[in-house]
Amino acid sequence: MIKGALQKPITILVIVAGLFFFGINAIRTIKIDIFPDLNLPVIYVSHPYGGFTPDQMEAYFGKQYVNLLLYVSGVKSIETKNIQGLTLIKITFYEGTNMAQAAAEVTGYTNRAQSGFPQGSQPPFILRFDASTLPVGQLVLSSPTRTNKELVDFALVYVRSSFTSVPGLVAPAPFGGNQRTVVIKVDPELLRAHNLTPDQIVAAMRDNNQNSPAGNVRIGDINYITPANTTIKKVAEFGDIPLFKNGVQTVFLHDVATVEDGADITSGYALVNGKRSVYLPITKSASASTWDVVQNLKKAIPRFQALMPPDVKLSFVFDQSVYVINAVKSLAEEGAIGAVLTGLMVLLFLGDRRGALIVILTIPTCIVSAVFFLNLFHQTINIMTLSGLSLAIGILVDESTVTIENIHQHFDMGKPKALAIWDACKEIAFPKLLILFCILAVFAPAFTMTGIPGALFLPLALAIGFSMIVSYMLAQTFVPIMANWIMVNKHEDKSHKDGYAMDDEGDAWKQKEEAVKHATENDKKAKGFDKFRLRFLMLMDRMLPARKLIVSVYLIVAFGLAFLLFSFIGRDVLPKVNSGTFQVRLRGADGTRLERTEESTIKAIHILEGIVGKEHIAISSSLVGMHPSSFSTNPIYMFMAGPQEAVMQVSLTEDYKVNLDDLKEKFRNAIHKQLPGIKVSFEPIELTDKILSQGSPTPIEVALTGKDKKQNVIYAFKVMRKLDSIKYLRDIQIAQSYKYPSIDINIDRVRAAELGVSVNDISRTLTASTSSSRFTEKNNWIDEKVGLSYLVQVQIPEYQMSSMNDIREIPVLSNQPRPVISDVAQVKQDTTYGEDDDIGAVPTLSVTANINKKDLGTATDDVQKAIKALGKLPRGLTVELRGMSQTLTDTLDSLQSGLMVAVLVIFLMLSANFQSFKVSLVVLSTVPAVLFGSLLLVKITGATLNLQSYMGMIMSVGVSISNAVLLVTNAEELRKHNGDALRSAREAVALRVRPILMTSLAMIVGMIPMASGLGEGGDQTSPLGRAVIGGLLASTFAALLILPLVFAWVQGNTSTESVSLDPEDKESKFYVPLHHHHENHKK
């Protein structure tokens, strides 16, 4: 490769230029996303049925679905949430399941289930869940004059319908409002005065407002369409509907009711900055780029705005795409700083500005080329590939720096420039290839990992792998060409220009001996680095006699301290990010009215403003109450269990710097003091945390699953008491509503029959009085101005049904003041389950908790101990920890096993190269130092063991092995030549001390910008940089001070004979000189 490059340098330059060009083009076209394709095997089924209680939803829908969905291939678990009017099912599949086929099967079986559902049930909404399903921002519609009903209508008719013009943009129905509806509000007193029931009003609507098809009449030569005004044209005309037949009475609808062009029964509000608004959560299709979707949406907003009235404002908030763009900016800054600092390092050690320029040029070329190959393999720019490229910047330095340093060594021998470059590159070509394989082997386990850890680790490994391969190729081709063209050999000996034999092995060893002599001889005139090297060798001379003791102490101390540090360092899935945004769920007492919850939410916003200052809140967005049943997809994006709940999302201004844990604690305490009836629970807002929590609302979620619901509640309180004893846990509460207030209407069927009343009569009149007729009788009206149809529903205004007595006095039969409800039923207050959750068909309850200033790993361990402290559980009851704790365990287990597999693979690879298991162990002797150094710096800087810091440790292992390979390769060659392991170790370290220091210090300096965490999104990657720096600092000392001692000890009595068994191999001890003669004689 080197010879070919030197023979055809223009070809290499063309290839490099081509890579750079296509790489730049790939940067322009590659998709930019927050996460790689996680391929989460989850499907949601959302089924609304307005008015049904949670118990009815569970029995009629939830468990019926479970029985059928178990036939779907690859189902791992089925979790069901049942609240009033909604069943939400989460189906999780095993890894490797064909999700397209699974989605088709789910659709088929849910369609089959329809036949067994209550009359009027609509098909469910089915959604494949992935990272792309979660919102990447909110498009807010606000107006000082418009009602929420109008804003929802604008959002549905004009904005959402225009999203098709933005490629990849997907959005559910609006949050915070209800669909436009014609509402017939009947007055109970007037009904009673005219001996009417609510159900009679519904019947009159059905008879007088019908959807009927138009026919055709052919008169003469004309074909006429025959539309009739069976559907009322104007809203006001509904009031003129007669409520009589055959001229018996002259009562019209306007005599007993008011007609409004209004909205469905209010179930929830959205508050933006404390004022009622409407917003559309913005999501994207799985194949689209988050960055492109958000940017195209921002460009399209003026076009959408033009469709709105002047007093309606559109704004895009909670933009999650900035997360990945911040990481891109960090990569660019760290790459530039790292390249410059690396160049300065080369300048410092070699005093060669041109050599430094070559090193600097290779870094952007490698990164750009890596992006090209990532695009080629259908990867995206995301937080994991960016981490890989950031990490690669440090190690890319190694390839070119080692080559430049070795060229300088050969310059020092007095060789002509071209020959020195050829010899230098040829000498280290194979060791560098071995190093490349070792570093690639470190990341090989990414291809065997499964689940979320595998999906996150593989793109990172590919980014590093592509960068390293390109870097190796450049070091073997581009670097020698550029060195020939621009470097200057100040030590060239002109008298020997024609006397060097490039392929003479004896001459090569002679040059090697001269290099060793130059590196080890005690020259009193030495200065600069040569002086440092001589002092270092004096230290080595004092250490070598005590090598066994020093190595033994090193191994015991390094392994011991690494184990201790590993035990005491906190563990997280990803580093904590102080992003300036948070989400909190406020819970009032079960059944709290929507209006009271809204008041509490506004007070909570004022409390927060008092803590941070109103000017420091960029935006607050709150959802109060439940989603309307007509918007059945919305609970998938944000689940709301009842009118007593509100979810606040807050974004602070960029100039307001605060520790989020401290702010959350202040806010929590202030809420408890000023709103004592409100429970607080902070939830993940970052997309990273939402994905990794796998649907759990808090980092700690303890699930209690058992067939006895009452027993589940009893043990949930026991778990809460145990968790209360863990001081750093906050917001400990049962997530489900288990004592929701109810008014039970117990029908006396015998008494009803005596009075000629059927259960159907009672049911229909109760539905119209306490809910809406649209659940029993669907009726539509067309607004001809916009060409859309809207529901028409009959209901008694909520404020007129405000006491137990109002319910008792509802008339049941048509045209009769009696009987009323109290004549045929007993009305009493009671409690019921406000939310019925199941795993499979078995009821479950969740105890949730947040963590304050503690790592997830420690919290997981302490909660597991608390669960065990419950003792023996009743038969059929299981208690388990779920959510992010499970993700943490899976991730760290994968990484730990991956690290061990990587070390094993490297050991076997080195054994194959050196033909010696002992020499491989010598190379691996730096690994304990890497582990100790990485863990120590992570601990000192207050970071945790997480995916990023593990990546840093794994990379440090690769770099330390690369340094060790160069040193041991030299030492073993020298030992085979001179037969003295002690002398060879000393000479090898003398030759390699400069390149090892250069590459290690260059990488350490290159990692400083990342480790500082000062750049955009720096919190996310700083543990990675710190782990690399700590590992390299320790491994550099180990490589220079311990590795020669280990080599001298292990190889001290090893034979210099080859292990070859080939009788024709002159190096083999089984070599038979007569063998060739015998073969020739036979011929």
Q: Which residues pair with 215 in a beta bridge?
A: 226
* The pLDDT value given to residue 600: 93
758/1017: higher pLDDT: 758
Note whether 359 and 400 are within 8 A (CB): yes
Reduce the DSSP state of residue 840 to 3 states and report it.
coil
pLDDT computed for residue 521 by the predictor:
61
Beta bridge partners of 278: 141
Phi-psi label, residue 528: left if phi above 0, alpha if psi -120 to 50, beta otherwise: left
Average pLDDT of the residues in 690-705:
85
Residues near 380 by Cβ (< 8 Å), separated by ≥ 6? 30, 31, 32, 33, 36, 37, 289, 374, 459
State residue 274's pLDDT score: 85
Tens of pLDDT, residue by residue over 112-166, are 888 888 877 888 999 887 766 778 888 988 888 888 888 888 888 888 888 888 8
Would you state the pLDDT for residue 85? 87
What residues pair up with 705 in beta bridges, in sequence order?
A: 844, 878
In this prediction, residues 1050-1079 reach a mean pLDDT of 70
Q: What is the predicted pLDDT for the residue at 503?
A: 47
- What pLDDT, on a 0 to 100 scale, did the predictor assign at position 1008? 80
d(CA 387, CA 399): 20
All structural domains of the chain with their residue ranges: 2-30+324-491+527-573+889-1050, 31-134, 180-265+741-832, 579-683, 696-738+833-881
CATH class of the structural domain 31-134: alpha beta
- Secondary structure class of 619 (helix, strand, coil): strand
pLDDT score, position 237: 86
Check pLDDT > 70 for residue 515: no
Q: What CATH code would you report for 579-683?
A: 3.30.70.1430
Q: How far apart are CA 1025 and CA 107, in angstroms?
A: 47
Provide the residue count of the chain: 1083
Fold category of 696-738+833-881 in CATH: Alpha-Beta Plaits (3.30.70)
Determine the distance from the C-alpha atom of residue 247 to the mean position of all C-alpha atoms in its chain, rounded to a whole number. 69
CATH architecture of 180-265+741-832: 2-Layer Sandwich (3.30)
- Residues near 696 by Cβ (< 8 Å), separated by ≥ 6? 848, 882, 883, 884
The larger pLDDT score, comparing residue 678 to residue 1080, is at 678
Query: For residue 502, what pLDDT is reported?
Result: 45
Give the pLDDT score at 201. Answer: 84
- Please give the structure tokens belonging to residue 990: 């003398």
What are the pLDDT digits (tens) for 561-619? 999 998 888 888 888 877 788 899 999 999 898 889 999 999 999 999 999 988 889 88
Look at residue 194 in the predicted model and tell me its pLDDT.
81
Q: Greater confidence, 522 or 269?
A: 269
Can you give the pLDDT at residue 663?
Answer: 92
pLDDT digits (tens, 9 = 90+) for 194-217: 888 777 888 888 888 888 888 888
Answer yes or no: are the C-beta atoms of 962 and 439 closer than 8 Å.
yes
pLDDT score of 525: 62
pLDDT of res. 504: 47
In this prediction, residue 75 carries a pLDDT of 93
Counting Cβ atoms within 10 Å, is residue 830 exposed (0-12), middle (13-18) or buried (19+)?
A: exposed
Identify whether the C-beta of residue 441 lies closer than 8 Å to the C-beta of residue 910: no
pLDDT digits (tens, 9 = 90+) for 431-477: 788 888 888 887 777 777 777 777 888 898 899 889 889 988 888 88
Q: Do domains 180-265+741-832 and 696-738+833-881 have the same CATH topology?
A: no
Please give the pLDDT value at position 702: 93
pLDDT tens-digit readout, 224-277: 888 888 888 888 888 888 887 555 567 888 888 888 887 777 788 888 888 888
Percent of all residues in the chain with a pLDDT value above 70, rounded to a whole number: 93
pLDDT band at 509 (very low <50, low <70, confident <90, very high): low
Interval 768-787: pLDDT, tens: 777 777 666 778 888 877 77
β-partners of residue 680 are 586
The predicted-structure confidence for 536-553, as pLDDT tens digits, reads as follows: 888 888 888 888 899 899
Report the alpha-carbon distance of residue 622 to residue 602 in Å, rounded: 9
Q: Tell me how far apart the alpha carbons of residues 547 and 985 are, in angstroms, rounded to a whole number.
A: 12
CA angle in degrees (0–180, nearest 5) for 377-380-384: 110
Phi-psi region of 840 (alpha: psi -120 to 50; beta: other; left: phi over 0): left
Of 807, 770, 773, the C-alpha closest to 792 is: 773
Greater pLDDT, 324 or 972: 972
pLDDT, tens digit, 9 for 90 and up, residues 876-897? 899 999 888 888 888 888 878 8
pLDDT at 1015: 63
Spatial CA neighbour of 13 closest among 420, 479, 487: 479
2-30+324-491+527-573+889-1050, what's its fold? Multidrug efflux transporter AcrB transmembrane fold (1.20.1640)
Residues in a beta bridge with 277: 270
pLDDT digits (tens, 9 = 90+) for 381-428: 887 888 888 777 777 777 777 788 788 877 777 778 888 888 888 888
pLDDT of 342-361, one tens digit each?
A: 777 777 777 778 887 888 78
